[in-house]
Amino acid sequence: MKRRNTKQIKIGDIGVGSEFPISVQSMTTTKTRDTEKTLEQVYELASNGADIVRVTCNEVEAATSLIQIASRSPVPIIADIHFQYKLALAAIEAGVQGLRLNPGNIRNEIHIKEVAKEALLAGIPIRVGVNAGSLDKDIANKYGDSTPEALVESAIKEIRYLEQVDFNNIKISVKHSNVPLMIESYRLLADRVEYPLHLGVTEAGPLPGGLIKSVAGISTLLSEGIGDTIRLSLTTDPIEEAKYGRQLLEYLNLRERNSLDLIACPSCGRAEVDVIKVAKEAQEALEEKGFPIQVAVMGCVVNGPGEAKSADLGIAAGKNKGHLFIKGQVVKVVKESEMVSSLVEEGELITKEGIEARLAAADKDAAKLAQKDAEELINMQGDINEFKSKARSVIEITSKQDIDT
């Protein structure tokens, strides 16, 4: 994916822009005035994939708490400001690494510029965060609805205020709860500015719908090279936001994998085990270990190792057996009851020793045993792909007809 070229900014020690990896953001749900609980959640978010955490600053007590939160946090803290510009000034004084301002609720141009001047002196960025529910009032009246054009115009108006005081340490978002409108808003904005963009479907809702909407909107834009930070705004524990956001970037090869990627066949009548049950057990056991590898759970040994040969590690079910494979090569045949435990054991060894070392340590008889099991299943169930009969048909067709060379 070719990234859209943008200006580069820094949020604490996290670089944001086209020269840096796309980062994951989430937001605390605690009362910010409760310093310890907020910090506890910040640490949980960071350990589950969040690079940046946003914290509400909605009262004096919250601003005071930010002094400790910002200094003790393992990741940069962004203060979320609504209505009260003096709380933005207080958050800057408290030492936050960034601000998020909403054009719809800090309307006084003088106040906006005062905040920008202080942020400039502190060397911290501002995210201009526009969404459908809080547009600039004049622009909302002009368009009559939260159209993509209205969101983008509102963002541009706010940016101009900041630029007029020589502030350009800016990141922008134009979120919408309607996925197609969200996509169109960001496309329009990407054509108008060079600032980095923060992606999200606002008010996406609970799982699974909220996750589906977020992935649909964010992935579409990322595939077009648009987007520099992301947040999955889900109505659930924010830890899930961080975890799913990180996984999304890993699945798109936009961040190096540091979590488990479990793939599994959807199961069918040929499966020799309950694939859904085994996959669930494997997911739980392997996630607990935190292996940053791709693991496959396949229902039968006939096609399993071949179909999932790109996986770092996998298991395919035979008659009361499991064929353990690494990069498509069967390395061990185990009892069906040991399939999950064998994945965990081999996952630990791969993580410690590496794939090449584990391939070298493969059971020499495993490939022969696996081939025998596969042939037995084909004889019992039939060749679902009909390779042999199709091969004969192809030979007959080509021998009877002239081949156009």
CATH number at residue 235: 3.20.20.20
How many residues are recorded in the chain? 405
Pairwise CA distance, residues 163 & 119, whole Å: 12
Parent domain of 362: 261-381
Mean pLDDT confidence for 289-297: 92
Q: What would the pLDDT profile of 144-189 be if each residue is shown by its tens digit? A: 889 999 999 999 999 999 999 999 999 999 999 999 999 999 999 9
Beta strand ranges found along 49-97 (DSSP E): 52-56, 77-81
Pairwise CA distance, residues 235 & 202, whole Å: 10
Beta strand ranges found along 29-84 (DSSP E): 52-56, 77-81
Tell me how many degrees the CA angle 123-125-129 measures, rounded to the nearest 5: 160
Does 274 lie in the same domain as 224? no
267: phi then psi, degrees, rounded to nearest 5? 75, 155
Res 386 pLDDT > 60: no
Does 269 lie in the same domain as 205? no
Token digits of residue 143: 């368009």
Token digits of residue 134: 């809080």
Does 267 lie in the same domain as 159? no
On whether residue 387 sits in a domain, the answer given is no
Predicted pLDDT at 208? 95
Where among 210, 232, 251 does a domain terminate? Answer: 251
Predicted pLDDT at 268? 73
Does 244 lie in the same domain as 266? no
On whether residue 117 sits in a domain, the answer given is yes
On whether residue 190 sits in a domain, the answer given is yes
On whether residue 238 sits in a domain, the answer given is yes
Cβ-contact 377, 302 below 8 angstroms: yes
Does 199 lie in the same domain as 95? yes
Q: What would the pLDDT profile of 176-231 be if each residue is shown by its tens digit? A: 999 999 999 999 999 999 999 999 999 999 999 999 999 999 999 999 999 999 99
Predicted pLDDT at 258? 87
Pairwise CA distance, residues 388 & 321, whole Å: 26
Pairwise CA distance, residues 39 & 69, whole Å: 6
Does 71 lie in the same domain as 46? yes
Res 397 pLDDT > 80: no
Neighbours of 401 (CB within 10 A): 8
Question: Which helix (H) or strand (E) element contains residue 387?
Answer: helix 387-400
Token digits of residue 250: 């890993």
β-strand partners of 234: 205
On whether residue 405 sits in a domain, the answer given is no
Does 163 lie in the same domain as 242? yes
Does 320 lie in the same domain as 361? yes
Res 394 pLDDT > 70: no
Does 272 lie in the same domain as 237? no
Pairwise CA distance, residues 62 & 69, whole Å: 10
On whether residue 350 sits in a domain, the answer given is yes
Where among 222, 251, 280 does a domain terminate? Answer: 251
Q: What would the pLDDT profile of 2-16 be if each residue is shown by its tens digit? A: 999 999 999 999 999
Does 265 lie in the same domain as 240? no
Strands 321-326 and 329-335: antiparallel
Domain count of the fold of the chain: 2
Q: What would the pLDDT profile of 23-82 be if each residue is shown by its tens digit? A: 999 999 999 999 999 999 999 999 999 999 999 999 999 999 999 999 999 999 999 998
Res 387 pLDDT > 60: no
Pairwise CA distance, residues 31 & 28, whole Å: 8
Where among 251, 282, 302 does a domain terminate? Answer: 251
Helix (H, G, I), strand (E, B) or coil at 34: coil
Pairwise CA distance, residues 55 & 43, whole Å: 13
Token digits of residue 14: 């996290």
For residue 341, give the CATH number of its domain.
Answer: 3.30.413.10
Predicted pLDDT at 155? 96
Predicted pLDDT at 5? 97
Model's pTM, two decimal places?
A: 0.86
| Measured CA distances, 72 to 65, 68, 94, 333 (Å) | 11, 6, 12, 50
| Measured CA distances, 220 to 22, 133, 203 (Å) | 15, 23, 18
Token digits of residue 46: 């960071």
Mean pLDDT confidence for 244-265: 93
On whether residue 401 sits in a domain, the answer given is no
Does 365 lie in the same domain as 288? yes
Res 368 pLDDT > 70: yes
Does 169 lie in the same domain as 129? yes
Q: What is the DSSP letter of 75?
A: S
Q: Report the percentage of the chain scoring pLDDT > 90.
A: 73
On whether residue 397 sits in a domain, the answer given is no
